[in-house]
């Protein structure tokens, strides 16, 4: 009797696998392919002229995203990044088109105007993804940190991401709350120091911690309309900004940072 029971259970499992493999999973794979294609329409990448932002743009080209817009302050670096990415697109035979916008993301008025220009020009699709990568860091013991540095880091690391998202989000929102809406995605780039306070990074950690609170609140608001909100927590990354951050860094901060190693932007 027990043996017959096992045979019956085995048959049910086998039948279930058969259904999944030949009926449900192909539909799921087809849906995932459609959703991926929809997301890969137009990606906004802040801090896209170098480091992690440039690496993100390069990967989007590898994925054949239809259009990528790089946003950063330095026009010269943006021009260099554009040239590099266009060459990369050619080398991997990607049809991705790339545009650049020079603007300070911590200036609410300017980033709002840029978002309006991009989204109403008709020259490219409405953004389907935002990668908030622009950021900076300095380190010093709390009592040695200049008052202005708290403002500067919060303006770039937190407000820059909040303003950019606020500027583009109205154009990304669906017209209805139907579950049939194709997805959109928003990514915030925090830091390991946005998960754990670290000696010498009181101003920086606070600005990165703030991103998590923003992301969690946004996910509660936007999940119902298929807009996904995510946070990345990269460790120390070998970028031009990282080299600058080493100037004046307390020895204790260096020793703590070294325990997680130094990663490349492409990883």
The residues that are catalytic are 190, 204, 208
Residues 38-69 as b or e (16 or more Cβ within 10 Å = b): ebbbbbbbbbbbbbbbbbbbbebbeeebbbbb
The phi-psi region of residue 262 (left if phi > 0; otherwise alpha if psi is between -120 and 50; otherwise beta) is beta
Strand partners, 189: 232
Task: For Cα atoms 124, 127, 132, give the angle at the middle one, nearest 5 degrees.
Answer: 130
Nearest to 265 by CA among 194, 189, 203, 213: 189
Residue 137 near residue 150 (C-beta atoms within 8 A): no
Residue 227 near residue 185 (C-beta atoms within 8 A): yes
Structure tokens given for 136: 């900076």
Helix axes 108-120, 160-172, angle to 10 degrees: 30
Q: How far apart are the first and last CA of the chain?
A: 55
Burial environment of residue 104 by CB neighbours within 10 A (0 to 12, 13 to 18, 19 or more): middle
Residue 137 near residue 245 (C-beta atoms within 8 A): yes
Tell me, rounded to whole angstroms, the distance of Cα 11 from its chain centroid. 45
Residue 263 near residue 191 (C-beta atoms within 8 A): no
């Amino acid at each position: 009797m027990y043996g017959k029971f096992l045979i019956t259970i085995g048959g049910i499992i086998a039948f279930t696998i058969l259904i999944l493999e030949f009926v449900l999973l192909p539909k799921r794979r087809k849906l995932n392919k459609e959703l991926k294609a929809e997301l890969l329409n137009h990606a906004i990448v802040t801090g896209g002229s170098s480091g992690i932002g440039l690496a993100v743009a390069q990967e989007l080209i590898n994925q054949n995203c239809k259009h990528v817009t790089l946003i950063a302050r330095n026009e010269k670096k943006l021009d260099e990044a554009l040239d590099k990415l266009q060459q990369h697109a050619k080398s991997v035979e990607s049809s991705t088109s790339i545009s650049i916008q020079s603007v300070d993301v911590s200036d609410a008025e300017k980033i709002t105007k840029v978002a309006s220009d991009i989204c109403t020009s008709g020259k490219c699709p409405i953004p389907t993804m935002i990668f908030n990568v622009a950021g900076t860091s300095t380190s010093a013991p709390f009592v040695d940190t200049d008052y202005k540095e708290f403002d500067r880091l919060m303006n770039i690391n937190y407000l820059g991401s909040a303003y950019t998202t606020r500027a583009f989000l109205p154009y990304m929102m669906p017209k209805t709350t139907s579950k049939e809406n194709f997805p959109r995605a928003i990514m915030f780039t925090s830091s390991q120091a946005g998960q754990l306070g670290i000696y010498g990074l009181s101003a920086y950690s606070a600005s990165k911690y703030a991103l998590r609170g923003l992301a969690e609140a946004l996910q509660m608001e936007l999940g119902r309309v298929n807009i996904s909100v995510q946070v990345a927590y990269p460790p120390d990354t070998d970028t031009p900004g990282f080299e600058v951050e080493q100037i004046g860094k307390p020895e204790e901060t260096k020793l703590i940072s070294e325990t997680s190693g130094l990663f490349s932007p492409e990883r």
